[in-house]
Structures are given as C-alpha cells and as structure tokens.
Structure 1
Amino acid sequence: MPDTVVTRARAALLLAPDGAILSHWTAARLWGGRVPDNDFVHLSFMRRVRWRVRGIKPHCFTHRLDVLRRHGLPVTSPGQTFCHMARFLGLVDLVALGDSLVRKGRITTDELVAYAEDWVGQYRSEAVDAARQVREGVDSSPETALRLLMVLAGLPEPTVNVRIRRTDGSVRFRIELAYEDHQLAIEYDGRWHAEPEQSAHDAARREELNRSDGWHFVVVTADELYQDQESLLVRLWDELRAAGMPVPPHPEDAWRHHFRVQRVAA
C-alpha cells in the first residue's frame, strides 16, 4: 500500500480506543494544509485515555471536538485544527497553515478569524493574531514568510496575487506580491527558478511587464529570505522608499522574534 498520511491515519484509528479523532499535524495535512514535518499520527479524545503506541501521539481535551469527515475519516475541522496548532507553531508557520487552508478552499479568511475569535481553548490570542494575517491567493509558504517579514518590519503590506488582465478581462500575468499604485512587484524565486528554462521564462515575463506596463520587479532569493533577512529588509526598504512609498525611518525589529536570524558573512 502507498505510505501516505491517509494510510497512516486509517492504521492509527484501527489501533486506537473508541472516540479517536485525527487532529493537529495529521488533520492539517488531511485538509491539504502546509505544516512543518512531524513524525507522529496525532489523535485527539474528548476524555482522558491511558494508551500509548509508538508513532501515535494522543491528545486529551475537555472541550468539545469539532469533527468533520475527510477521506471518510473523523478529523477536526479546519478552524479547530488551526486553533489547536497555535500551541505548537510560531506566527509564520501558523499563518502559512491558514494561507494554505484558505487556498484549498477549506475555510475563508473571515470564517477563520471568526473561529479564532470564538475559540475558548488555550492560545486563543496567538490564533487570533495569526488568523488576522491570513490572506487569499497565497501560493507558497515562502510567499507567506516574505509578506510577514515585511509587515513585521513595519513596511507597507503588499497585495497578494495581483492579476494583470488583457482588454478582454482574461488574466495575462499574475504577480505574487505587489504595490499596484506604484507598479512595484516583490517576487520570491526559489531554487527551482535557477533552472535555465524557468529562469529564461521569468526574465521574459518581467521584461514584458516592465516594457509594456512599467512594472519594476524586486526578486528575493531563498538565501536572502532564510539566511540574511536583515540585508533583505534594507534592500526592500530602499526600493519602497525609491518608489515614493511611505516607510518608517528604518526597518523595525519585531520580525526578529519570528524569524531565525542567520546573517551571512560578506
């Protein structure tokens, strides 16, 4: 049989006491959400259980579990899964989870904020803070991280998933993060963008948008985003200021609490 999250979830339920519900990392993955790796299948119960099996992590709650079905299996709802994960994930990873759940159509941004605000369990404030940062149309976790890095540094928040349309209304190009009024685009290029064919495609697309519509592109690499955020923020701050946008006197430091700072040596 294929070794998938669905297969492991079914196997865990066969071994579990009655009333087990798939939750936490396992529920997030079953809903199509993006979460950091975790080796366990997570099961929750609305009662105390004394049960241990290698590879399965039980959680016991006194509050009611909000249970739906996914692949025919009992799973905590997308909203409750998000709130449960507020205990274990930092802000960036939690927002990335919310972005991915919204992207998959499992929940809307308004529904997620409402669910977090009504949450009576632990880590409510963390869930609410993250839910309010979730946006529609986010394609990837690095895109989430780049947007939050800018926001936490006090820079104006870019618009997500801007569409450039033809005269007939069809979509001509899509820009990940943009300031439309200033025709400034911020795009993340992962390592696969270094492949010759993809690199040529990216360059041609950006050149056409610059020539025909006056767009200016700021391209961010993985090394900058994950290893040298301080230099990246200075570069972004310079670009926004040059474009005539209101920026703080210098990038603020709130981002340091949520990103792993690894300054690259010159």
Structure 2
Amino acid sequence: MPFADFDPTQPFTVEEAREAGRSRWLRNGRCRRIFHNMYIDARIPDTVVVRSRAALRLAPEGGVLSHWTAARLWGGIVPDNANIHVSFMRDVRFRVDGIKPHRFRHRLHIVKRHGLPVTGPEQTFAHLARDLDLLDLVALGDSLVRKGVTTPQGLLAYAESWDGQCRREAVAAARLVRERVDSVPETKLRLLLVLAGLPEPEVDIRIHDADGIVVFRIDLGYRAARLAFEYDGRWHDDGDQPAKDEHRRRHLSTEEAWTFEIFVAKDVFETPEATLERAVAALEAAGIRVDRPLSDAWRPHFRCPTAQAA
C-alpha cells in the first residue's frame, strides 16, 4: 500500500502498515488492536461501527452484519454480546476471536447502514428470536420502532411471513411491540402486566393544553380512569429530574385528578408478584375490571422468589 494511501483512522493489517512504512506504530502505542491482525489509530473510539468495519475486512467475501451487531447498528437495544456477528449465504471457513460467523440458507435482506452491509431491522428481529427471550425481543422491537427504522406493523408482517427458525417466538414478540416506548424497563413493566392478564396500559399518554400543545407525558396508564403507572429508573434521580417529576405528578394529581403508581427496578425485577398485587389493587380502586385468577404466563420471564423457594 503506498504511503499516501495509508489511512490509520480506518482498520488496517500488519502487512498494510509495513508496506506504508508504519511498522513502528504497532510497537509505540500509536495504534490499538481490534482483532488478530487488524489495528487502528489509538485515538479512534472503540465503537460497533469501527469493529464492524474491521470484521468485514477479515471476513470472506459476501459477509453481512447481523444479529446483535445489526441490532446495535440500527440503534436497537439488546443484551451485551462481545462478538461482531457476520452472516453468509454460503458455507465459509472462518475463525477469528471476537467475530461470530453464521450460515443461512434463506436469502439475507441486505441494507446499507453506516455504509456497511447489514441485515434489515425486521430480519434482524426475526434472527434474534432464536437467541433472546420474549422480554428482550420485545424490548428490541420497541427500541427499533422508537428509532424510526421500522414499525410494529412492519415487524409483525415480517414475522408472520418468516420461514426461518423460531417463527412462533418472533410473531409472539412482534404482537407486543408498541410505539413511543422510552426504555427497556418500561417495556418489561408493561409486559409483566400484560402477561399476567391485566388490561394493557396505553403507552406514552400525552396531556395537551388548551392550544393543543403537549405539556406533560405519562409513561403508561389508563386514560379514562386517570390512572398512571410509571417506572422511575436511576436517571430520575439525576439533576433537576426529581423536581420535574414531582411538579408534573403534583399538577396532574391536583388539577387533572390523576393517580400515580410509581415502580422502581426492585418492583419489576425482584418482587414482580407483589408488584402485580399492587397493580391489581390500583386498577380495581380506579374501577377497572380485573379478570381472576391472574395468568401465570409472566412467571417464566420474571424472577419469582416464592416459586424459587418452593
């Protein structure tokens, strides 16, 4: 590689550095290792885009970024996975630490994202139905919709036409994806209620003033009964956010007759059964009918100390 063509801000190999007369960079700390035989200028941040570019340079021809990697490139939220995932529509022999190859016999839906070949958001969702549980798959769908790269209807239509593995799981999750969901914990609080058979709350209720301008938002709730269910994550303790939350809830309670039930991480992830009991009490107090007994469909997805102790 001619010296003038060498760009250390893009992934490069040891051989390319030597050809450009930059071998010393590999020893003096001016570059960092991404994968075996793939380096970059140490000043370039370690991002999924950078690692994806490096992985594709090492991968056989025809590789497409997929699974967790594609989800993150689309702006979706998925559990941590250290590998860069690359899919092929042919058999390949390829092994590099940190890069996970996949082989598919169905056609890959390839779209460019950040200039890279990536499986489309709907196919990415369907692929991950094999690996993610229901809660995380719905959370992924909610986050993809919030990013504006797909819609609940688009995910469901794709899942229903999917002829790959775990079609049933993809369809079940797609049916639960909603628009305007703010966070993964909010998704999981909603799913706890829905899987238990409680009436599904409306997402992102917007309160308008006399001029039609949105002045307040409510995470989850039952508009007709003026009952709000909200999840307070750690960000609600930062800066002036507690004061803003208090002002909003006080105004809506005193001026609009809303009742608020506030949930935190422990309620959803450690004591879901007690949380359901609290939700049922709030719903019935608001005049909302609850079918009993509650469904146990939530139990496989949430920690239940009572069941574990038994």
Q: TM-score, normalised by structure 2?
A: 0.83
Q: Structure 2: how far apart are the matches of 1:159 and 1:178?
A: 5
User: Do residues 40 (structure 1) and 83 (structure 2) align?
Assistant: yes
Question: CA 1:262/1:11 → structure 2, altered by over 3 Å: closer, same or farther?
Answer: farther
Q: Deviations over 1:130-175 (max 9, x none)?
A: 0010000001000100000000011000000110001111101011
Which residue, 33, 56, 72 being the options, matches 1:13? Answer: 56
- Deviation of 1:191 after TM superposition, in Å, equals 2.2
Q: Deviations over 1:227-249 (max 9, x none)?
A: 11011110001100111101022
- Deviation of 1:250 after TM superposition, in Å, equals 4.0
- Deviation of 1:252 after TM superposition, in Å, equals 2.3
Which residue of 2 is the match for residue 152 of structure 1? 195
Q: Structure 1: how far apart are the matches of 2:294 and 2:236?
A: 28
Which residue of 2 is the match for residue 61 of structure 1? 104
1:110-259 correspondence runs (5 A): 110-195=153-238, 197-259=240-302
**Percent of matched pairs sharing the same residue:** 60
Contact 1:237 1:251 in 2 (8 A): no
* The structure with more radius of gyration: 2
Q: Deviations over 1:65-97 (max 9, x none)?
A: 000000000000000000000000000000000
1:17-28 correspondence runs (5 A): 17-28=60-71
Aligned residues: 265
Where structure 1 has 5 or more consecutive residues not aligned to the other structure, the ranges are none
Q: Structure 1: how far apart are the matches of 2:234 and 2:184?
A: 14
Contact 1:226 1:262 in 2 (8 A): no
Question: What is the root-mean-square deviation of aligned Cα atoms in Å?
Answer: 1.4
Amino acid at match of 1:232: T
Q: TM-score, normalised by structure 1?
A: 0.97
- Deviation of 1:195 after TM superposition, in Å, equals 4.2
- Deviation of 1:107 after TM superposition, in Å, equals 0.6
Where structure 2 has 5 or more consecutive residues not aligned to the other structure, the ranges are 1-43
Contact 1:160 1:178 in 2 (8 A): yes
Contact 2:271 2:303 in 1 (8 A): no
Q: Which has the higher contact order (CA 8 A, sep 6+)?
A: 1
Amino acid at match of 1:29: R
Which residue, 86, 100, 109 being the options, matches 2:152? Answer: 109
